[in-house]
């Protein structure tokens, strides 16, 4: 399913058009909807279930309405904002639908399933008590996993069938939402909204049986796809023409900025990059050393590596902020603003560059440390992989994004004093802050669910702060703040 989702996007990129903006926008729309659904269900699912006496139809409407409002309505809202800023065009409609489908099928469901199976495989392959306990648990809860090939293949086939249906319906409402915005035709939105009610069926899967449910689900999704394609026939023909006539240079400018500044950030911040990587390898070596002298490694030490890698990411990705400060001081932004680059694009491009650097640091340090451990005959515990995925990677990106946004705004709002070093140098402390908060608070927590809540909470707060700073800076910050001598 992951390969299929990615393949479709690649195909569409080659055949027509699929931009990074479309991918990010679909992520924002989808992730926002899932987050809102989770919050609503966390507070209301149980009381509602009690209130309706567990009535399936009422619960189906409850679930379906949330999908219609948050997923479809959210997709429309995100498309509207992006379209008004020239980030997407009418001919991005199909790509947007594919993007929504990708985040659900390729990442949320496909990715998490893949991760789950990797952890299961690693645990079972490792043998010992943990493997036996896991095997017993899985045999009881998911016996199909250990069934014959024909049983397993049927399950796989039905799962792929279901994801294919999901892909069709996400594509349908993604397409309709963008066309509703691009052609200013609300009727496309009114067609898309009811499609979210497809989740009404989910609760009837147990009654209908898996096969019947999947067939019915597929039929409904196919109908939605047909409706979307039928009603947008004329618009799809005009989409490219309309898009070309309204296309801005924004995409090109942003691409050029990110591409050039990423290379410059690698060179500018090379010392920090090397420092961040060296720190992560040193950390890996020290922890491996501690583990090798004692089988009974304390929890705090075994978790030290994934806990501290975000600090390495913060240090290693400092080059992005350095480029921003340098360009502001050298008067580059005066030119960029005159050429029509907005404050938002300047901040966003720096953020993308910095997140690119985080990817480099995480990619090299994690794969390098894991490879070294395996080459030296060590083993990678599933708990470590889990910790890296649920803590290290999200907190690294969130902390660095927060540091970079705070640093950019700080730098823009303060006048440079000749002869005094930029205060931006201490921004790393801002970046390290969230890691320390998690580290300190986690010592007071018991249970993995509380730890997950802590990580989720900190990450969400950081993301919310970054988004708020970006919006406020874009709306309220005067352009003169980015001039060299303003």
Minimum CB distance to other proteins, residue 336 (Å) = 6
Residue (225 or 322) nearer to other proteins, CB = 322
DSSP 419: T
b vs e for 143-156, b when ≥16 Cβ sit within 10 Å of the residue's Cβ? eeeeeeeeeeeeee
Task: Give me Rg for the CA atoms of the chain.
Answer: 25
Minimum CB distance to other proteins, residue 263 (Å) = 9
Residue (103 or 268) nearer to other proteins, CB = 268
Residue (256 or 367) nearer to other proteins, CB = 256
Residue 416: both structure tokens together:
């440079």
Tell me which residue of 323, 343, 277, 336 sits closest to 481, measured CA to CA. Answer: 343
**What are the residues binding other proteins (CB under 8 A)?**
248-249, 252-253, 255-257, 259-260, 264, 267-268, 323, 326-327, 330-332, 334-341, 478-480, 483-486
Tell me which residue of 187, 165, 162, 164 sits closest to 76, measured CA to CA. Answer: 187
Minimum CB distance to other proteins, residue 140 (Å) = 59
Separation CA 290–CA 298 (nearest Å):
10
b vs e for 273-300, b when ≥16 Cβ sit within 10 Å of the residue's Cβ? beebbebbeebbeebeeebeeeeeeeee
Minimum CB distance to other proteins, residue 482 (Å) = 9
Cα 238 to its chain centre, rounded Å, is 32
Answer for the pair 323, 268: CB distance below 8 angstroms, yes or no.
yes
Q: What value, to the nearest 5°, has the Cα angle with vertex 470 and ends 244 and 398? A: 110
Minimum CB distance to other proteins, residue 249 (Å) = 6
Residue (471 or 486) nearer to other proteins, CB = 486
Residue (197 or 337) nearer to other proteins, CB = 337
Minimum CB distance to other proteins, residue 157 (Å) = 48
Tell me which residue of 429, 169, 392 sits closest to 284, measured CA to CA. Answer: 392
Minimum CB distance to other proteins, residue 350 (Å) = 13
Cα 427 to its chain centre, rounded Å, is 24
Minimum CB distance to other proteins, residue 257 (Å) = 7
User: Can you tell me which residue has the tokens 């009654």?
Assistant: 207
Residue (236 or 479) nearer to other proteins, CB = 479
Answer for the pair 57, 204: CB distance below 8 angstroms, yes or no.
no
Minimum CB distance to other proteins, residue 485 (Å) = 8
Residue 303: both structure tokens together:
């978790």
Answer for the pair 411, 484: CB distance below 8 angstroms, yes or no.
no
Residue (156 or 247) nearer to other proteins, CB = 247
Residue (352 or 462) nearer to other proteins, CB = 352
Alpha helices in 183-209, H assignment, sequence order: 186-192, 205-208
Residue (45 or 337) nearer to other proteins, CB = 337
């Amino acid at each position: 399913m992951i390969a299929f989702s990615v393949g479709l996007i690649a195909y569409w990129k080659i055949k027509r058009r699929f931009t990074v903006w479309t991918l990010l926008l679909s992520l924002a729309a989808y992730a926002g909807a899932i987050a809102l659904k989770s919050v609503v269900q966390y507070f209301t699912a149980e009381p509602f279930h009690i209130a309706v006496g567990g009535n399936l139809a009422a619960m189906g409407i409850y679930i379906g309405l949330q999908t219609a409002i948050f997923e479809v309505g959210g997709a429309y809202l995100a498309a509207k904002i992006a379209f008004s800023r020239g980030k997407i065009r009418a001919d991005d409609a199909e790509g947007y639908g594919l993007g929504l489908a990708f985040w659900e099928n390729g990442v949320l469901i496909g990715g998490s399933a893949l991760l789950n199976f990797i952890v299961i495989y690693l645990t079972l392959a490792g043998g010992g008590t943990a493997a036996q306990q896991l095997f017993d648990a899985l045999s009881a809860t998911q016996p199909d996993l250990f069934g014959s090939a024909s049983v397993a293949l049927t399950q796989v086939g039905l799962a792929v069938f279901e994801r294919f249906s999901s892909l069709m319906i996400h594509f349908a409402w993604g397409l309709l939402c963008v066309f509703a915005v691009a052609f200013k035709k609300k009727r496309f939105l009114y067609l898309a909204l009811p499609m979210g009610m497809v989740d009404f069926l989910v609760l009837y899967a147990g009654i209908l049986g898996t096969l019947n449910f999947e067939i019915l689900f597929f039929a409904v999704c196919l109908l939605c796809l047909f409706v979307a394609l039928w009603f947008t026939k004329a618009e799809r023909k005009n989409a490219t023409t309309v898009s070309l006539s309204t296309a801005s240079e924004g995409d090109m400018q942003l691409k050029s900025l990110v591409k050039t500044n990423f290379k410059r950030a690698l060179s500018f911040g090379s010392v920090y990059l090397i420092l961040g990587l060296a720190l992560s390898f040193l950390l890996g070596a020290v922890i491996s050393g501690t583990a090798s002298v004692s089988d009974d490694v304390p929890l705090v030490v075994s978790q030290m590596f994934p806990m501290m890698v975000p600090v390495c990411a913060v240090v290693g990705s400092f080059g992005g902020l350095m480029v921003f400060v340098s360009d502001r001081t050298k008067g580059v932004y005066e030119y960029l603003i005159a050429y029509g680059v907005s404050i938002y694009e300047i901040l966003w491009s720096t953020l993308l560059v910095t997140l690119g650097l985080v990817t480099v640091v995480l990619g090299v340090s994690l794969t390098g440390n894991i490879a070294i451990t395996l080459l030296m005959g060590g083993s990678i515990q599933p708990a470590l992989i889990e910790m890296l995925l649920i803590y290290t990677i999200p907190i690294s990106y969130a902390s660095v994004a927060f540091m970079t946004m705070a640093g950019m705004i700080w730098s823009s709002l303060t006048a440079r004093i000749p002869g005094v070093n930029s205060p931006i140098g201490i921004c790393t402390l801002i970046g390290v802050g969230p890691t320390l908060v998690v580290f300190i608070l986690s010592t007071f927590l018991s249970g993995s669910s509380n730890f997950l809540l802590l990580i989720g909470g900190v990450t969400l707060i950081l993301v919310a702060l970054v988004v708020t700073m970006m919006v406020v800076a874009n709306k309220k910050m005067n352009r003169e703040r980015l001039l060299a001598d303003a």
